[in-house]
Amino acid sequence: MVDERVLTVPGSYKEIRRICEFVAAGAAQAGFDETTIFHLELCCDEASTNIIEHAYGEEGVGNIVIRYRLSDDDFTIVMQDNGQAFDPGAVPPPPAIAKNEASAEELTSQLRIGGLGLHFIRNLMDEVHFTSDRRQGNQLIMIKKLNAS
Amino acid sequence: MAESIVNIYVEDLKRVELVRVSGRIDSSNAAQFDGVLKEVVSRKNNVVLEMSEVDYISSAGLRAMIALLRECKKHKGDVRLATPSERVVEVLSLAGLDSLFEVYDSEATAVGSF
């Protein structure tokens, strides 16, 4: 069983809800529970935001193509754009702030460094790959196993 | 097309600004959320965010909350959460920021904590 769907939307923040709903429908079909569907929505939201802000630099510059593929073993989401190459692997994880006495300076540092979205993607997906070439543009491939514990 | 909707109601109490937030906070409306929080912090440095009806929040929403906390801390104030939804708690935990905000199980106790 292999089912594949594709959605193309303008690179705009207001499209994020549509992207999430598209992926959530596929994830529900795959049989994921509500929490996992939320995780997949969150990853696609964060990836889309990164495409708009880092690959394209702003809204309205190019399209985002979202493709998901449901196989017997996994649910694969591919997010594609034609902006600047942006390698998620090059971004370090954000520093954890493990106390509520964090100073204003620590919070400023947290805001400046960013990378929270990528941190979510790395932690919530089973596999994450990034490829970039002239023909296909940038591709972020996120895989969730169907039977992961 | 469904767009993300966030509803924000602000109550200016004696010692605290109470902000009731509901709906979905993502990159499409985080600037709106951030704008309201900036207005709030211009009035008082102690803020309660009531977030029981927030059914979705991304890192964009979280950044607005962190920016609010930073501004409050700069002026010796604080931001406390009342009855955050499961999604809010989970996203804070995923970010490693779950101990950044004091959490209360009712709006009244959160407001009364200041």
pLDDT in tens, A17-56: 999 999 999 999 999 999 999 999 999 999 999 999 989 9
Taking CA atoms, A68 is separated from A29, A51, B24, in Å, by 12, 17, 23
User: What residue ranges define each of the domains in chain A, with the CATH number in brackets?
Assistant: 3-90+116-145 (3.30.565.10)
Taking the C-alpha atoms of residue A69 and residue A44, their distance in angstroms, rounded to an integer, is 14
Which residues from A are below 8 Å from B103, CB to CB?
none
pLDDT of A105 over the 90 cut: no
User: To which H or E segment does residue A43 belong?
Assistant: helix A34-50
Domain with B43, as residue range(s), is 6-112
In a domain, B89, yes or no: yes
Look at residues A57, A70, A55, A62 and name the one whose alpha carbon lies nearest to residue A15.
Answer: A62
Residue range A59-95, pLDDT digits in tens:
999 999 999 999 999 999 999 999 998 776 777 777 6
Q: Inter-chain contact B27–A45, Cβ cutoff 8 Å?
A: yes
Q: What residue ranges of chain B have pLDDT lower than 50?
A: none
pLDDT of residue B97: 84
Q: Is B86 part of any domain?
A: yes
Residue B23: which CATH number?
3.30.750.24
Residue B69 located in a structural domain: yes
For the stretch B33-49, pLDDT in tens is: 999 999 999 999 999 99
- B104 assigned to some structural domain: yes
Q: How far apart are CA B37 and CA B63, in angstroms?
A: 11
ipTM, two decimals: 0.91
Q: How many domains does chain B have?
A: 1
What value, to the nearest 5°, has the Cα angle with vertex A113 and ends A112 and A119? 135
Domain contains B1: no
Give the span between the Cα atoms of B80 and B15, in whole angstroms. 13
Residue A104's pLDDT band, with cuts at 50, 70 and 90, is low
Which of B29, B76, B67, B75 has the alpha carbon at shortest distance from B49? Answer: B67
- Beta-carbon contacts of B44 under 8 Å, excluding residues fewer than 6 positions away, are B12, B15, B16, B17, B77
pLDDT given for residue A83 in this prediction: 94
Q: Using a CB-CB distance cutoff of 8 angstroms, which residues of chain A are in contact with residue B4?
A: 14, 16-17
Which of the residues A7, A9, A16 would you substitute to probe the B interface, choosing the one with the greatest number of B C-beta atoms within 10 Å?
A: A16
Q: Is residue B65 part of a domain?
A: yes
How many other CB atoms are found less than 10 A from the CB of residue A127?
Answer: 11
Whether the Cβ atoms of residue A94 and residue B97 lie closer than 8 Å to each other: no
Q: Please give the pLDDT value at position B40.
A: 95
Longest dimension (CA), chain A: 53
